[in-house]
């Protein structure tokens, strides 16, 4: 039995986890305190490390995630002790941990950064939950002889894997009415559909708009094609805008015509509320791009089944005698599954991508005083402190319960794992610390369907006071821009009829090389009234920067 020894007059920090949050926490502590003993306990010898970090706005940043050996991540110069083992016991009162090998580690301050675990409902050799390098390697091995893959889930992992799979038949079963609904609305789903069918490739850009009459309503005419999608509509015509993406023609429009058109969706009540869910993504940005997930066929095909969930695994005998055999039943398959609509599918592999849940079970079992949220996350306050003295948590394992800023929300994504980890490290060392500015605005940079995607603020409209509306610009195969604008008035003041309505941007989705992220971020953070420039905001012929000179 070995016990770590405390340096004289130094706080001993112990961090449990090997992901981005844990590594960033350890790095931040060391950057502030060069002498304090730091121990990082990780269940695997590989750590997730941030690389190529690039600030593309005041808060918005992009970065890559790579796996590195712990010994090369923290060299002797950093003086961070690495223990590769699993924590199996925790005595919060005595402030010590016990590993699977029997070692005991004491601490003054503990950080729990054990991430999330896939939601497992079924166990079968042909079912894979992609979470880390090991499960990705399993998928690659099984893919070599696979002809058909069923993907269950509609979040980031599911979206990436469906796009990257090659030479295999893909059946994508989702519980929503459109693909990738965790992040995108139906309009964006239609924008991405060509890429979904074709998989990774280079794209040419064409654009569509809907024609509008003098009353601001859509005519019952075919949509026309031009360089910008920018028209006005209310929520009842939103489906027409989606149809326009499907059915564009080759007719062109002049820049003058384009500048007169603006696409807008109004949301007045809860009936138009966007469905969202919170998910995690442990493999990090661009994981699928560098992974060869190729099946045994000569080409790929994709079939999407909407509004269904996986219900159960079906054995071969039951599948053969069932009267609810689906269109993809025929053949001899190693796995049969039943969907919630009753149909039975046969497949070589099923990829379970239905999200993750906080990996908090062991910690709660060992300490009743540790309070969990309804989503099983460890509750933390604005200093990342848990309900147990001198115990902190960060990343996917925690649930933030402080009063959120108007333009921030918690989603278990790599960006927040890095932010929370670094902030948690500072909070553990510094007695007086204010909530980091990064929690003023939700930001996330990633890639979907080969496009750079940036999410800012309340990008999905969730939590935005009604009424609000969305400004949009869509260039087919090139860009999709959606900006959430709130037209509420300043609280506590009376307005005469001659006062203009104050318009604030609360969120945005930017797909493609839009070069708008810095401007939109500033408009959100500074809550600049855009009522005088709304019509020109998405016009590429106008330099919005001139408004602020």
How is 38-65 classified by DSSP, letter by letter?
EEEEESSSEEEEEEEEEE-SSS-EEEEE
**Residue 150 and residue 337 in contact, taking contact as beta carbons nearer than 8 Å:** yes
Q: Which of 431, 463, 485 is the last residue of a domain?
A: 431
Given 285, 317, 352, which residue is the final one in a domain?
352
In a domain, 4, yes or no: no
Tokens of 69: 């050996």
- Is the bond into 96 cis (omega within 30 degrees of 0)? no
Distances (CA, A) of 224 to 157, 199, 206, 247, 256: 35, 27, 11, 9, 15
Q: Are residues 479 and 387 in the same domain?
A: no
Query: What are 26's two structure tokens?
Result: 């350890």
In a domain, 120, yes or no: no
Q: What is the CATH number of the domain that holds 47?
A: 3.50.50.60
**Could you tell me the residue range of the domain that residue 545 belongs to?**
204-273+439-549
Per-residue pLDDT tens listing for the chain (549 residues): 444 434 335 789 999 999 999 999 999 999 999 999 999 999 988 899 999 999 998 999 999 988 888 878 887 778 899 999 999 999 999 999 999 999 999 999 999 999 998 887 788 999 988 766 667 778 888 888 899 999 999 998 899 889 988 889 999 999 999 999 989 988 899 999 888 888 776 433 333 333 333 343 433 333 322 222 222 333 223 333 434 433 433 333 333 333 333 455 555 544 333 333 322 334 444 444 444 555 555 678 899 999 999 999 988 877 776 666 556 667 789 999 999 998 999 999 999 988 889 999 999 999 999 999 999 999 999 999 999 999 999 999 999 999 999 999 999 999 999 999 999 999 999 988 999 999 999 999 999 998 999 999 999 888 888 888 888 899 888 999 999 888 632 222 233 333 445 678 889 999 999 999 998 999 899 888 888 778 888 888 777 766 655
Q: Is the same domain home to 546 and 448?
A: yes
CA dist 382 and 399 (Å) reads: 11
| Contact criterion met (CB below 8 Å) for 300 and 169 | yes
Element (H, E) at 308: none
Q: Of 352, 374, 408, which marks where a domain is finished?
A: 352
* 365 shares a domain with 299: no
Do 107 and 138 fall into the same domain? no
Domain-located, residue 6: no
Contacts of 109 (CB under 8 A, 6+ apart): 11, 12, 13, 14, 390, 391, 392, 428
Same domain, 231 and 285: no
> Do 300 and 217 belong together in one domain?
no
């Amino acid at each position: 039995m070995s016990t770590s020894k405390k340096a004289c007059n130094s706080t001993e920090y112990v961090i449990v986890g090997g992901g981005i949050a844990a590594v960033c926490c350890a790095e931040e502590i060391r950057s502030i305190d060069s002498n304090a003993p730091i121990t990082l306990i990780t269940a695997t010898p590989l750590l997730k490390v941030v690389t190529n970090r690039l600030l593309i706005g005041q808060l918005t940043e992009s970065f890559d995630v790579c796996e590195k050996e712990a010994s090369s991540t923290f060299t002797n110069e950093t003086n961070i002790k690495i223990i590769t083992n699993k924590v199996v016991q925790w005595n919060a009162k005595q402030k010590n941990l016990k590993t699977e090998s029997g070692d005991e580690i004491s601490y003054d301050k503990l950080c729990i950064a054990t991430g999330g675990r896939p939601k497992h409902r079924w166990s079968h050799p042909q079912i894979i939950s992609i979470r880390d390098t090991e499960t990705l390697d399993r998928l690659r091995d099984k893919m070599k002889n696979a002809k058909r893959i069923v993907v269950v889930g509609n979040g980031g992992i599911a979206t990436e894997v469906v796009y990257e799979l090659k030479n295999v038949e893909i059946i994508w079963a989702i519980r929503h009415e459109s693909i990738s609904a965790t992040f995108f609305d139906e309009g964006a789903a239609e924008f991405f559909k060509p890429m979904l069918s074709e998989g990774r490739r280079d794209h040419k850009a064409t654009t569509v708009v809907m024609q509008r009459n003098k009353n601001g309503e859509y005519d019952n005419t075919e949509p026309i094609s031009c360089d910008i999608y920018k028209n006005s509509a209310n929520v009842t015509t939103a489906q027409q805008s989606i149809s326009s993406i499907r059915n564009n023609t080759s007719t062109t429009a002049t820049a003058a015509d384009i500048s007169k058109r603006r696409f807008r969706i109004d949301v007045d009540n809860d009936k138009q509320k966007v469905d969202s869910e919170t998910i995690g993504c442990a493999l990090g940005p661009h994981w699928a791009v560098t992974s060869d997930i190729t099946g045994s066929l000569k080409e790929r095909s994709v079939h999407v089944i909407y509004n269904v969930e996986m219900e159960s695994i079906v054995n071969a005998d039951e599948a053969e005698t069932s009267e609810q055999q689906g269109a993809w039943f025929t053949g001899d398959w190693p796995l049969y599954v039943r969907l919630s609509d009753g149909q039975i599918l046969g497949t070589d592999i099923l990829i379970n991508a239905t999200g993750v849940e906080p990996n908090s079970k062991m910690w709660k079992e060992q300490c009743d005083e540790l309070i969990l949220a309804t989503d099983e996350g460890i509750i933390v306050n604005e200093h990342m402190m848990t309900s147990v003295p001198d115990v902190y948590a960060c990343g996917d394992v925690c649930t933030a319960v402080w009063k959120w800023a108007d333009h921030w929300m918690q989603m278990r994504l790599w960006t927040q794992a890095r932010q929370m980890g670094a902030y948690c490290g500072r909070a553990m060392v510094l007695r007086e610390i204010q909530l980091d500015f990064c929690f003023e605005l939700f930001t996330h940079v990633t890639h979907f369907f080969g496009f750079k995607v940036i999410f800012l603020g309340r990008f999905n409209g969730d939590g935005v006071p009604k009424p609000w509306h969305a400004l949009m610009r869509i260039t087919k195969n090139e860009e999709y821009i959606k900006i959430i604008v709130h037209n509420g008035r300043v609280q506590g003041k009376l307005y005469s009829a001659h006062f203009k309505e104050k318009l604030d941007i609360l969120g945005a989705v930017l797909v493609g090389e839009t070069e708008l992220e810095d401007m939109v971020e500033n408009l959100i953070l500074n809550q600049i009234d855009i009522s005088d420039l709304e019509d020109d905001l998405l016009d590429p012929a106008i330099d919005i920067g001139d408004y602020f000179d």
